[in-house]
Amino acid sequence: MRKNKPFFLLSIIFIFLFSSDFDRTRLSKNKRQNNRQFQVRLQSINDDQPFHLKEQRYAPDQVLVKFKPMVSDFHIKTTISAYKAGTIKKMRRSNIYQLQLPEYLTVEEMVWALERNPDVEYACPNYIVYITAVREPNDTFFDYQYALRNTGQDIGIPGSPHGKDRADIKALEGWEETEGSEDIIIAVIDTGIDFGHPDLEDKTISNGYDFANDDEDPTDDEGHGTFIAGIAAAKTNNNEGVAGVAWDCKILPIKAISDDGTGYVSWLIDAIYHAVDNGADVINMSLGFALGPDEAVPSLEDALQYAHSQDVVCVASAGNDGEPVLYPAAYDEFCLAVAATDFDDLRPTWSNYGPEVDVAAPGVRIVGCVPTWYWGEGSIPYGFLGGTSTSVPHVVGMVALIKSIKSWLSADEIMDVIRFSADDTNTGEYPGKDDFIGYGRINMEKALVPIKITK
């Protein structure tokens, strides 16, 4: 069949490696104690450069297939066997199967064949997902956190660029309304979390999961997830490290990215269902992948729709290569797409754009938590990171604060509050909503005022 039937391969759309700015020479779980030179100051991770596109788009030997509801389990098993495929697993809360292809079939050929089966609702590749970084708290490095409070200070070591006064998300004013509630849960779908980090200890709830290794230990062996979780909800006002946007809210760590910074969309789908079913109020997805004009992952959109129907707000990175918005952020109806701004309230040219962009948040030279093993024994577990990955948890933390004091709001209403309370910082050039920063850079003070913002 393969020799006689021509197939047009899908166009190569480079998948975006989100702003993990972490050096790709990773320490695996069994190498965390590797000693490095003592670090005497905060370091920039990967020289503040966000990661960009990669060539491999999907697993070369797997597909996802959803059978129609009336098809029996026996018939599904028989159909899969007829295609000489193996079942890796049936995915959570769905009639979707992850299949292992026989050696003589390509992904494109299997998808083509399955889509012509009247018992199949849809089939698609298993795409690869990549990671993408009032009362004033007394945290050691708060003065570096221009995203929360920008006074025009140096944003790093002496000689670093200066910020622009009030080019920030108005965190101090927002914290006058609330510092968050322990009842509000932030699901961070990423590389996991360093449970022993001094700014993250006692911040997590149970029921975390590692879909990359299929176990109940979502410990971070890459670094990105720890950084993202710290921006959203690090311990605050504890005389140590950094301040989190949502001081008192809890974190549900879900690992859907492996130690090389990549994962599969099947892991992401399962992670979304797990987050919702375990009480998440908002989901942070500082990750994504590209799809071509004629490509789709209906099972991912179904998972986002399920979360949305449960009033769980989903937030994802727009991307870092000056290209169209990535997925899942591009599923605009069910997900907030977040672009980046810098310390001068300007959009960096690498921040992805498109009509799906809802808002922007600081994403250049952000200071945050790194795993305690990352820099080596004796070093301080903090560093700088940039990209739309780091923009997302600022928005996610704000969602958690809104939910803390306005629990009656639906997901749609919260998404509108965030959009319509944003500062249109590029109004001189692009007045109103635009494709670059959407409605504008988020504003906690406006979003948390004790009124209900309506259209």
Catalytic residue numbers, as ranges: 190, 224, 389
- CA dist., res. 375 & res. 355, Å (int): 39
C-alpha pair distances (Å), 253 with each of 54, 128, 136, 206, 267: 26, 20, 27, 9, 14
**Secondary structure of residue 156 in the 3-state scheme:** coil
Please give the structure tokens belonging to residue 129.
């997902």
Burial of residue 43 (number of CB atoms within 10 Å: 0-12, 13-18, 19+): middle
- CA dist., res. 44 & res. 390, Å (int): 14
Cβ partners under 8 Å of residue 121, min gap 6: 66, 67, 68, 95, 298
Torsion of CA 167, 171, 174, 176, to 10 degrees: -120
| CB-based burial, 300-328: b 16+ in 10 Å, e otherwise | bbbbbbbbbeebbbbbbbbbbbebbbbbb
- CA dist., res. 189 & res. 229, Å (int): 9
Cβ atoms within 10 A of the Cβ of 185, count?
Answer: 24
